[in-house]
Amino acid sequence: NAGVTQTPKFQVLKTGQSMTLQCAQDMNHNSMYWYRQDPGMGLRLIYYSASEGTTDKGEVPNGYNVSRLNKREFSLRLESAAPSQTSVYFCASTRTGGNYEQYFGPGTRLTVT
């Protein structure tokens, strides 16, 4: 099993450009998540998807959109990138049920200039 995979690993964007971060998991998990990690702030939840076909806002959703394409894939889109979106983005997944840990991808390091 590959676990949770993310593409790309690194990306540099100019202000105003758009891009989509891809995430896929092969563990048959129902729930998937997008986080951003900034120094001194830990991980903050951007969006999550409790099951295929549903998505919900997390703590910091402004400037982002998501798509739960199918059970395996959950993408994050920046429509008009801003320097404040410079961050490391992590995708995670878990089984539904309440007592299962989340499994994380390796992250995407995004710089917006």
Partner 1 sequence: AQSVTQLDSQVPVFEEAPVELRCNYSSSVSVYLFWYVQYPNQGLQLLLKYLSGSTLVESINGFEAEFNKSQTSFHLRKPSVHISDTAEYFCAVSEGTGANNLFFGTGTRLTVIP
* Chain positions contacting partner 1, by CB under 8 A: 4, 31, 33, 40-45, 48-50, 56, 58, 90, 92, 94, 96-107
Q: Over the Cα atoms of the chain, what is R_g? A: 13
Looking at the Cβ atoms of 14 and 99, the one nearer to partner 1 is 99
Question: Rounded to the nearest whole angstrom, what is the least distance from the CB of residue 89 to partner 1 in the complex?
Answer: 11
* CA 77 – CA 37 distance, rounded (Å): 16
Looking at the Cβ atoms of 17 and 45, the one nearer to partner 1 is 45
Looking at the Cβ atoms of 19 and 109, the one nearer to partner 1 is 109
Question: Rounded to the nearest whole angstrom, what is the least distance from the CB of residue 103 to partner 1 in the complex?
Answer: 8
Closest CA to 12 of 106, 104, 81, 91: 81
